[in-house]
């Protein structure tokens, strides 16, 4: 069935939602959420690349009924679009992580809670009504701290609370060089804290930020030594960390931050259940390609064996279509969901998901794909170098 249209006064694109969000957020919060690392080359590339990819539609393929649903780990997603983990969501809207997770529930999809959330993982789970077992439970994103005890404790809490999967972020051994943040460090206002650090330390802003703002190498070393337990463990390796996680939990294990076919292979050999192709929304290593560019080589290695989850720069349903065509099984939205949260809390996030759903549905109809499995790589192409004609990928 075709998704319902908005009422005339509603924003009808994510770009419009973002404009409204800008008027609702204070400057430091807007800067924190919009920024990338260094010169923002990767951040910009992530979104611009979608415009370069052209669609190659097919006609007369019976699109009377178009089904946007997808299955990941055997669970049903009404749309192949879920919400990426992002830190400190109560800075964006008072309902924060709870509004996000409830919106994902309403749309029949899923949400990943950040290790640096401002709501406890137990409260997020308790905010959801009971759900038919055919749908997924939320996932929990893990920053693996140097303190194994702290790391173990939070994994245990996530498992006991009923999270379906653990998403180990592997692109944040140290925080990216975010220039705006270095000039104006992010400070959580009183009353907000990172509720999922096992110690629930007051103030709660990541100790990684102290390291980022150290003025000299000596100061950085001091911070590193003094705050060691709360920093991400930089000594992790595939062959050790994945088996260690397996020993701790029976939740599914995904790794987030895969940007090469080589790492996708490492991940599979190490025995993960899924990967997330991601460059952290351009906030970590600047100068890496867009995620969309790397998706085909990664999908060639893992597609059909383990789920390929994907994020980076998605702001339209046609972006989602392109990522699915290049091998994604499920797309995550980071900032687009945050603009919805700023715009109107849970309803705003739902509005964003509905916009993307409608746009994806229309792109599928007009491309001749009546289900997600009918979206193929041959349905996208790239303009030839001499500017005339389209090459298949």
Ligand X SMILES: CCCCCCC(=O)C(=O)O
What are the residue numbers of the active site? Answer: 280
Minimum CB distance to ligand FMN, residue 276 (Å): 7
Closer CB to ligand FMN, residue 86 or residue 110? 86
172 counts as binding ligand X under rule CB under 6 A: yes
Backbone phi, psi, residue 143, to 5°: -95, 120
Give, in degrees to the nearest 5, the angle at Cα 124 between 121 and 127: 150
Residue 90 in the binding site for ligand X (CB under 6 A): no
Which x/- pattern over 140-159 shows residues binding ligand FMN (rule: CB under 6 A)?
-x------------------
**Shortest Å, Cβ 289 to ligand X:** 19
- Strands (E) located in 235-359: 252-258, 274-277, 308-311, 330-333
User: What's the closest the beta carbon of residue 311 comes to ligand X, in angstroms?
Assistant: 12
For ligand FMN, give the closer residue by CB, 66 or 338: 338
Residue 112 phi/psi, 5-degree rounding, is -110, 125
Residue 314 binds ligand FMN (CB under 6 A): yes
Instruction: Return the one option of ligand FMN, ligand X, none that residue 208 interacts with (CB less than 5 to 8 A, by type).
Output: ligand X
Residue from 206, 279, 316, 318 that binds ligand X (CB under 6 A)? 206
Cα(137)–Cα(118) distance, integer angstroms: 19
Report if residue 193 touches ligand X, rule: CB under 6 A: no
Structure tokens at 4: 């319902």
Q: Interface with ligand FMN by CB under 6 A: which range of 93-101, 185-193, 292-300, 334-342?
A: 334-342
CB 141 → ligand FMN: shortest distance, Å? Answer: 5
- The size of the interface with ligand FMN (CB under 6 A), counted in residues, is 24
With CB cut-offs between 5 and 8 Å by kind, which of ligand FMN, ligand X, none does residue 340 bind? Answer: none
Minimum CB separation of residue 117 from ligand X in Å reads 10
SS3 328: coil
232 binds ligand X (CB under 6 A): yes
43, 53, 87, 198: which one contacts ligand X (CB under 6 A)? 87
Q: How far is CA 143 from CA 115, 168, 196, 198, 334, in A?
A: 6, 6, 11, 12, 17
Q: Which residue, 66 or 208, is less far from ligand FMN as judged by CB?
A: 208
**Cβ pair 178, 286 in contact under 8 A:** no
Contacts of 278 (CB under 8 A, 6+ apart): 84, 171, 256, 257, 258, 259, 291, 310, 311, 312, 332
Rounded to 5°, angle at Cα 294 from 288 and 296 = 175
334 binds, among ligand X, ligand FMN, none (CB under 5 to 8 A by kind): ligand FMN
Q: Of the candidates 291, 263, 289, which has an alpha carbon nearest to the alpha carbon of residue 277?
A: 291
State the Cα–Cα distance between residues 358 and 346, nearest whole angstrom: 18
Under rule CB under 6 A, residue 307 binds ligand X: no
Select from ligand X, ligand FMN, none the partner in contact with residue 367, using the beta carbon and a kind-dependent cut-off of 5 to 8 Å: none
Residue 305: partners with Cβ closer than 8 Å, 6 or more residues away: 268
Residue 76 forms beta bridges with which residues?
A: 71
Which stretches of the chain bind ligand X, using CB under 6 A? 87, 116, 143, 172, 175, 206, 208, 232, 280, 283
């Amino acid at each position: 069935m075709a998704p319902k249209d908005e009422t005339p006064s509603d924003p009808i694109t994510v770009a419009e939602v973002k404009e409204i969000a800008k008027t609702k957020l204070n400057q430091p919060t807007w800067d924190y959420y919009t920024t990338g690392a260094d010169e923002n080359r990767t951040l910009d590339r992530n979104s611009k690349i979608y415009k370069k990819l052209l669609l190659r539609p097919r006609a007369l393929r019976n699109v009377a009924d178009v089904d946007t649903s997808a299955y990941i780990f055997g669970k049903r997603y009404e749309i192949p679009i879920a919400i990426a983990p992002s830190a400190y969501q109560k800075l964006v809207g008072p309902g924060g992580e709870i509004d996000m997770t409830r919106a994902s529930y309403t749309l029949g999809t899923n949400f990943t809670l950040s290790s640096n959330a401002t709501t406890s993982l137990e409260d997020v789970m308790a905010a959801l009504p009971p759900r038919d077992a055919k749908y997924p439970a939320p996932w929990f994103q893990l920053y693996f701290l140097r303190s194994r005890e702290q790391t173990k404790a939070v994994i245990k809490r996530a498992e006991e609370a009923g999270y379906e999967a653990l998403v180990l972020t592997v692109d944040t051994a140290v925080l990216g060089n975010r220039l705006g943040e270095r000039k104006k460090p992010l400070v959580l206002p009183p009353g907000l804290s990172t509720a999922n650090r096992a110690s629930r330390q007051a103030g709660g802003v990541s100790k990684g930020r102290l390291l980022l703002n150290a003025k000299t190498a000596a100061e950085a070393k001091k911070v590193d030594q003094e705050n060691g337990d709360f920093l991400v463990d930089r000594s992790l390796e595939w062959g050790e960390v994945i088996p260690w996680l397996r020993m701790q939990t029976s939740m599914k294990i995904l790794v987030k931050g895969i940007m090469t076919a080589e790492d996708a292979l490492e991940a599979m050999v190490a025995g993960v259940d899924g990967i997330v192709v991601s460059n952290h929304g351009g906030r970590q290593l600047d100068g890496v390609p867009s995620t969309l560019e790397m998706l085909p080589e990664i999908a060639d290695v893992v597609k059909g064996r383990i789920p390929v989850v994907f994020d980076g720069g998605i702001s339209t349903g046609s972006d989602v279509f392109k990522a699915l065509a290049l091998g994604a099984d499920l797309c995550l939205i980071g900032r687009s969901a945050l603009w919805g949260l700023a715009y109107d809390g849970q309803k705003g996030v739902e509005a964003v998901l509905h916009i993307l759903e409608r746009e994806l549905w229309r792109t599928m109809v007009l491309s001749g794909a009546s289900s997600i499995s009918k979206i193929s790589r041959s349905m996208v192409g790239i303009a030839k170098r001499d500017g005339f004609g389209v090459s298949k990928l």
